[in-house]
């Protein structure tokens, strides 16, 4: 996209990072069953971090993480949620591809899916997700998550960091260092490219913070994945 400036310069927007969010219309009907199922799964798992992945990046207390096969488990609300995620991600990919692909020509392959239950200051340090092109977070229950009344970091928010920071900072590139705090709402789905570094900020509340997360590859139907590389 080109825009004119008052200094006889033409500006070109190169490789923007696009971030999507939208609310599941059936959240009110699906959330109670989802919460009951997720707490049952938690009770059945002895390990605090079921995935065993990046344990040192996660708080030693206050954070529970399941294994990475959540969407493989049979549950009607999970299946409906996955359908919403698939449709949303296909629409997002069509947008970023400038309409060159149709949603019905795309196939979503969830390679990892899991859930977090967080409280008592639990957090997940800044990280990114390899082995996929798109990632997502779904807020099943935000609890007391929200903006700080004193101007600090949000309680239990999901924070994203610019992928363009290279260490040096002056008045000419301050805009590169801004962070983005994702919208916080029950039923909200956040979709973002896998290269985007993010963190789950510390959470404390009367209710637990419960989120579902996933990593996905997006393929064109009928085309082997090796031809997309």
- What is the distance between the alpha carbons of residues 66 and 53, in angstroms, rounded to a whole number? 11
Interacting residues of 164 by C-beta distance below 8 A, sequence separation 6+: 176
Residue 47 located in a structural domain: yes
pLDDT recorded at residue 227: 47
- Provide the number of structural domains found in the chain: 1
pLDDT band for position 4 (cuts 50, 70, 90) = low
Residue 11 located in a structural domain: no
pTM, entire model: 0.90
- Residue 40's domain comprises 22-116+124-143+154-164+173-194+203-221
- What is the distance between the alpha carbons of residues 208 and 181, in angstroms, rounded to a whole number? 19
Residue 96 located in a structural domain: yes
The 10s digit of each residue's pLDDT in 100-145 is 888 888 988 999 999 999 999 999 999 999 989 999 999 999 999 9
Residue 226 located in a structural domain: no
pLDDT recorded at residue 110: 95
Q: Does 165 score more than 80 pLDDT?
A: no
- What is the distance between the alpha carbons of residues 7 and 82, in angstroms, rounded to a whole number? 49
Residue 12 located in a structural domain: no
Residue 2 located in a structural domain: no
Handedness of CA 139, 145, 146, 152 (dihedral sign): negative
> Which alpha helices (DSSP H) does 97-185 contain, by range?
none
The 10s digit of each residue's pLDDT in 171-228 is 888 887 788 999 999 999 999 999 999 999 999 999 999 999 999 999 888 876 644 5
The 10s digit of each residue's pLDDT in 9-61 is 888 888 889 999 999 999 999 999 999 999 999 999 999 999 999 999 999 99
Residue 31 located in a structural domain: yes
Residue 33 located in a structural domain: yes
**What is the CATH classification number for the domain harbouring 137?**
2.60.120.620
């Amino acid at each position: 996209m080109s825009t004119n400036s008052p200094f006889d310069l033409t500006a070109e927007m190169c490789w923007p990072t696009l971030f999507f969010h939208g609310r599941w219309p059936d959240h009110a009907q699906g959330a109670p069953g989802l919460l009951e199922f997720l707490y049952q799964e938690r009770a059945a798992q002895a390990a605090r971090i079921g995935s065993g992945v990046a344990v040192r990046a996660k708080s030693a207390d206050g954070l529970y993480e399941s294994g990475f096969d959540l969407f493989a488990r049979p549950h009607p609300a999970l299946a409906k949620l996955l359908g919403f995620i698939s449709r949303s991600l296909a629409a997002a990919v069509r947008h970023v591809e400038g309409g060159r692909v149709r949603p019905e020509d795309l196939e979503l392959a969830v390679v990892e899916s899991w859930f977090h239950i967080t409280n008592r200051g639990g957090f997940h340090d800044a990280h990114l997700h390899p082995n996929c092109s798109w990632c997502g977070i779904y807020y099943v229950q935000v609890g007391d998550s929200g903006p700080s009344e004193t101007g600090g970091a949000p309680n239990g928010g999901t924070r994203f960091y610019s992928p363009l920071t290279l260490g040096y900072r002056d008045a000419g590139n301050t805009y590169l260092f801004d962070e983005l705090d994702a919208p916080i709402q029950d039923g909200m789905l956040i979709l973002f490219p896998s290269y985007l570094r993010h963190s789950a900020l510390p959470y404390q509340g009367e209710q637990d913070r419960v989120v579902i997360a996933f990593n996905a590859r997006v393929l064109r139907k009928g085309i082997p994945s090796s031809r997309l590389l």
